[in-house]
């Protein structure tokens, strides 16, 4: 599994209902993304900054992520 696949899988596992309004879910997602980046060789300080940027990107690009889980049977 490559870095992008790992990041996407991590995001998918950690995005829950109303994830954009829940600080705890966002914090958990940011930590999980940072761990993946470190696992793939990124410096821990840089991984934290990148995880924050990825979280910001997900807020913009995945506005309906929590909604799709709510509609699932």
Indicate the number of domains in the chain: 1
Instruction: List per-residue pLDDT tens for the chain, 73 residues long.
Output: 799 899 889 888 877 767 667 788 888 889 999 999 999 999 999 999 999 999 998 888 776 655 544 444 4
Which pLDDT score is estimated for 73? 42
Nearest to 65 by CA among 25, 6, 5, 24: 25
Give me the pLDDT at residue 67, please.
52
Supply the range of the domain harboring residue 51: 3-71
Closest-CA residue to 61 (of 25, 27, 15, 24): 15
Please count the other Cβ atoms lying within 10 Å of the Cβ belonging to residue 53: 11
């Amino acid at each position: 599994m490559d870095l992008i696949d790992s990041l996407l899988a991590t995001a998918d596992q950690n995005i829950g209902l109303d994830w954009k309004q829940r600080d705890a879910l966002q914090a958990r997602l940011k930590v999980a993304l940072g761990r993946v980046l470190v696992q793939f060789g990124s410096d821990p300080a840089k991984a934290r900054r990148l995880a924050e940027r990825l979280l910001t990107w997900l807020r913009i690009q995945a506005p309906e992520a929590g909604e799709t889980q709510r509609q699932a049977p």
